[in-house]
Each structure stands twice: as structure tokens, then as C-alpha cells.
Amino acid sequence: MTRLLAVVERDLRRFVRNPIVILSSIVMPLLYLIILGSSFQGTLKNLPIAVVNMDNGPQSIRVMERLQALEAGPGYIKVSRESDQGKAVEGIKNGRYKGALILPHDFSRNILKGNRGEIGLFLDNTETIASETIRNVVTAGMSNIEVKFIPVRERNARAIVRYIELYKKVDYDQSLIPGIVIMAIFLGTLTTGAFNTVMDKFLGLDESYLLTPLSKRDIVLGLVISGVIITTTIAITVLFLGSFISGIHLWNILSPVALLSAIIIIILSILGLIGMMFVILGRANHPRIVGVLGGFLNVIFFFPSGAIYPTDSFPGWLKMFAKIDPETYSVHALKTILFKGENLTAIRGDLIFLTIFALITLTIATLTYKREL
């Protein structure tokens, strides 16, 4: 019994002496509750749509009133007015809007004459859940628009919503491809660069570095380059296997320029995340800490990125975090390249953010790397 208690005491002491593991065991479940609970909230809300009203007649005013009621009441949509149809559609392409509602100049006249008043609804169908939500909300809101004047043919007087999907249809499982590629990148960066440093410390191999003329920059950049090579290979493999499984043949729909653009996004994402791992985990001295913090970091960076759930429906504080989450920009850039067929110009903002993030994290990682016992 004494020997048994000695083993128990030793293990308890070792656990108590590692406050990071204790703290993580308490804090991580609570953070999971907050992050996951805020990321998946059932019905989507605050989906931004543009409205171009070229009519300004009595029926178009009623349509605007319906939309404003949906915005102020259930809050499913967030309405912005645009004066030009081209600007509204361009807003969908660059991610500002999820949809655009076009009221033609003869909408009210057709309704009052007893004809069908047609409304155009452009949708970003690469966001499957968001586009279906907007479609259902607008359809329900436009049905049975009240007519105060008696039309000539009352039976046929109604508003018809014509849906225009801007891109080739993307199923929900296919829309997850950018997200799984980013998850593969995260796991690859977690198990290369910084993790190798921690393992070297744990096994005592890092002491051999002190006998060489290697500088901090040599060590960090060497581990970064090897991590980029390994993780890029993993990410590209996951991209093509994931597309094959979900029924998208990227090798048939992607041009060489688009494929190169996707690879550039992948490499920039890897550089930024490897640098971040060095900054956060570079001073750890036990692989267990990497394992504990790895799961925590995956949750707080992956789920708010918009890979699974549109960021527009997040609460305000989570939207602010999504704006500084590098995975948000990686997911958006890959979706734009893979599903919208755009080039690097369309994702200029994503490229700038990912480049700056990579430069900052790699610089901090090099400066803070400890080349001593």
C-alpha cells in the first residue's frame, strides 16, 4: 500500500507542478462552450443584401417596408441600398453582400394592371446555407403583397421572385472543401516547426545546436521551410482528394492561373500559422503542452473563420475576432478562387492580410527563439 501511495503522490505532484495543463483543463471546455455556442446559432441572421429600387412606385415601397420589417424584427437580413445593379452584383462577388434584390422600373405598374411583377434576386450560391436562407426569407416576405388599388385582373396580380445564381451550384459538402484544407494546414503546422522544437527540447537534442555555428535565424527558418514543404504537400493532397470525394473535379474546372493562386494562398496561410505556432508554443518544454493547446487553438481559430457557418450571423464580439483570425482570410480567398473563378485581384485584401500576418509572426518567432539551455 505504501508503494502504491508513493506512485499516486508522485503523479499528483507532477500534475500540480504543471499549471498550464490544469488551467487548460478548466478553461478549454468553457471556451468551447462560448465559441461553439456563438458560432452555431441555428437560424442565420444579419445576412447582408443589397436592394436596387428602380421603381419607387407604391408596390416597391411596400416591398421595402417588408424588407425593413424583416430586418428590424427577426433580423434575418441586413438591408443596404444601392443605386446601380452592377455595383450590387459586384458587391456579391467581392463578399460584401450575400444577395442582391432588384426591383425593375415597371414593377408597380405591372402589379396595378393585374400582371405579374417580377423581382430579380441575385444570390451568392457558393454560401449554400446563406443563399437558401435569403431565398426563403425573401420569398415569404414578398408573398401576398397587399394591393390598395383594385387591379383589372386581380387574380393574377402578384409579385414573382426570379432567382439568379451567379455561380455554378455548390452543394454544402463541397462548400466545406476550403475549410478542410485550412484544417489540414493547421494540423500540419502544429506537427512540424514548433512541435519539432519542443520534441528536441524534451529529448535533449536541442543541446547539440549549441555546439554548432547555427544562429537563431538559421534554426527557425530551417524548421519553417521544412514545415512549409511538408504542409503544402498535405494541403494540396487534401484539396484534390476532398474535391474528388465531394464530386468536384478541380483539374477540369481550374485554370493553371487559378491553381497557382490557390497554392499561393495555401503557402501564405502555412507561413503565418507556422510563425504563430512558434510564437505560442516555441517556449514550451513538453509535448503534452502542444497537444493540449493544439486542440484549443484549433477551435478558436477554425470555427470563427466562416469555414462552416457564415460570419455575418456571429455576435458582435465574435465578428471582431473573425476580422483578426488569419483562417478567415484563408477560407474566403480559397472559396473565391475555387468556386467563383476569380483571380488574385479579387482577393487582394486577403493576400495583404496573410502576408503581413506571416511577416509579423515569423519576425517575432525569430527574435524570441531561445538558443540556450
Please say which residue of 136, 165, 194 terminates a domain.
165
Shared-domain flag, residues 78 and 112? yes
**125-182 per-position pLDDT tens digit:** 888 888 888 888 888 777 666 544 444 444 454 667 877 888 887 787 888 889 889 9
Q: Domain range holding 61?
A: 47-165
pLDDT of residue 154: 43
Shared-domain flag, residues 316 and 194? yes
- Quote the Cα angle for 52-88-43, to 5°: 90
Looking at the domain assignment, is residue 29 inside a domain? Answer: no
Structural domains in the chain (count): 2
Please say which residue of 131, 165, 199 terminates a domain.
165
- Alpha carbon distances (Å) from 31 to 25, 197, 301, 326: 11, 27, 12, 19
What is the percentage of the chain residues whose pLDDT exceeds 90?
A: 20
Shared-domain flag, residues 220 and 155? no
Shared-domain flag, residues 245 and 120? no
**231-261 per-position pLDDT tens digit:** 999 999 999 888 888 888 777 777 888 889 9
What distance in Å separates the CA atoms of residue 134 and residue 141, rounded to the nearest whole number? 10
Looking at the domain assignment, is residue 76 inside a domain? Answer: yes
Looking at the domain assignment, is residue 57 inside a domain? Answer: yes
Shared-domain flag, residues 152 and 214? no
Shared-domain flag, residues 267 and 243? yes
Shared-domain flag, residues 317 and 216? yes
- Alpha carbon distances (Å) from 156 to 62, 63, 106, 137: 18, 18, 16, 22
Shared-domain flag, residues 214 and 351? yes
Q: Is 95 left (phi over 0), alpha (psi -120 to 50) or beta?
A: left
Instruction: Examine the pLDDT at 33 and tell me if it is beyond 80.
Output: no
Q: What's the CATH code of the domain at 63?
A: 3.40.1710.10
pLDDT of residue 350: 94
Mean pLDDT across 10-22: 64
Looking at the domain assignment, is residue 90 inside a domain? Answer: yes
What distance in Å separates the CA atoms of residue 348 and residue 90, rounded to the nearest whole number? 15
Shared-domain flag, residues 316 and 196? yes
Looking at the domain assignment, is residue 217 inside a domain? Answer: yes
Looking at the domain assignment, is residue 25 inside a domain? Answer: no
What distance in Å separates the CA atoms of residue 133 and residue 327, rounded to the nearest whole number? 24
Shared-domain flag, residues 151 and 176? no
Please say which residue of 106, 135, 165 terminates a domain.
165
